[in-house]
Amino acid sequence: MTKIKLLDKKLESKPLSREHMPTDYSISLSEYTGKGTQNEKRIPDDFGIKQSLEGFDDIYQNIVDYIVRITYRIWEDRDVEYILDTYSSFSKVFDDYGLQLGNQKIVDDTHHTTGAFSNIKLIADEVIWAGNDKIGFHTSHRTIIRGTNDGPSNFGPATNKDIDVLVIANCVALENRIFLEHVCYNTSSMLLQLGMDLDRMANKLAATAPDGWPRDQKTWDDLRLSASPEIPICETDKIEGFDIDRFLRNFFEKIWNQRDYRKLYEFFDYNLHFEGPTNRKFSGLEHYIHFIRSLMTSFPDLELQINEIYWMGNDVDSYLTSTRWSATGTYSGEGIYGEPTDSKVQIWGITQNQVVGGKIVNEWMLFNELDLMMQIAASN
């Protein structure tokens, strides 16, 4: 195998269309790892079906193989400098704190994290993908981070406590390099697992925040608009029958913007399984309704917009979907973050759904909850 030498260049993300969505699971994490079988392996001997990956290193068979193995190599083989080969020097990474520019910043942050968690593992839990090697591969990588905090971190000295933290990273890659990433860490959950007080940490972090926090309007606009289509796919490419794009857009509009909670029974299976920020994990639609209502009560004027949707699957086998969304609102209602402050806030997140028979049966959702608490703290 030979490694392809590439010229790093500035790339712009392009919105996807319906033709870019995989209609089956032949290239998927479950096929790749044998998930749920007795032969399950995190890195298999056979890397799966060969997919066109023009411009990528030829050691990779398909986009799932690429995402899983570069993650393993960087974090668990500790080849941190491999980031310089797999992230563009012009890369943009939107996270809790704002916008991180360039691959060297990613290298530095990764070294810091591996120093704080020397036995860290990043375990792939799902990879939802769309696109190709011409327009770019869009991947929504759900990962579980496990490790022991045996070194100092940005949050304080070593605690020697174990963590189990959900992460969802939505990336766009072309020619072997990721050049755009939106990543949500369940940081608030991690801090609780480390034995820290969330309110106290939010106040401390808001007072000592890094450059770029809070994000300015341009950064917020870039976060929302990157890879976002001007017109939804369900409007530019209409189809008969069940349209997963329209289904998800209707769900977010009816529930989050119109507050029509009766519609939840139309969109969700009653036995919904949910995993979300700050240790929210439950089964049953009634618990989900309570969660949504608590957020809406806290931010009565919340206005949400969908920034990007992509999916894989079909009506028969189910759909796996990734929805990146953002919202603005005012913390003016009684709610989960203490006394109302009338703070204007920015909220953004990534939601993955499994849709079976026209109903959402599983949801994994993260948003910038620690950052949100920092925004509220900074206004006090």
Name the residue ranges covered by the structural domains of the chain.
18-207, 233-378
Mean predicted confidence (pLDDT) in 23-44: 91
- Enumerate residues 6+ apart whose C-beta is below 8 A from 294: 335, 336
Q: What is the pLDDT of residues 195-222, one digit of tens each?
A: 999 999 999 999 998 888 999 999 999 9
Indicate the CATH number of 233-378 among 3.50.50.60, 3.10.450.50, 3.30.1360.120, 3.40.50.720. Answer: 3.10.450.50
Q: What is the pLDDT of residues 215-253, one digit of tens each?
A: 999 999 999 999 999 999 999 999 999 999 999 999 999
Q: What is the pLDDT of residues 73-92, one digit of tens each?
A: 999 999 999 999 999 999 99
Q: Which fold has domain 18-207?
A: Nuclear Transport Factor 2; Chain: A, (3.10.450)
pLDDT for residue 287 is more than 60: yes
Question: Please, what's the largest Cα pairwise distance for the chain?
Answer: 60
DSSP percent split of the chain into helix, strand, coil, nearest 5? 30, 35, 35
Cα 113 from Cα 145, distance rounded (Å): 11
Q: What is the pLDDT of residues 170-201, one digit of tens each?
A: 999 999 999 999 999 999 999 999 999 999 99
Instruction: Indicate the helix (H) or strand (E) that contains 356.
Output: strand 343-356
Mean predicted confidence (pLDDT) in 331-351: 94
Contact predicate 57/47, CB 8 Å:
no
pLDDT recorded at residue 265: 96
pLDDT recorded at residue 8: 72
pLDDT recorded at residue 380: 78
pLDDT recorded at residue 375: 96
First to last CA, the chain: 58
Cα 143 from Cα 123, distance rounded (Å): 5
The answer to whether 18-207 and 233-378 have equal CATH topology is yes
Burial of 204 per CB tally in 10 Å (0-12, 13-18, 19+)? middle
Mean predicted confidence (pLDDT) in 106-118: 97
pLDDT band at 64 (very low <50, low <70, confident <90, very high): very high
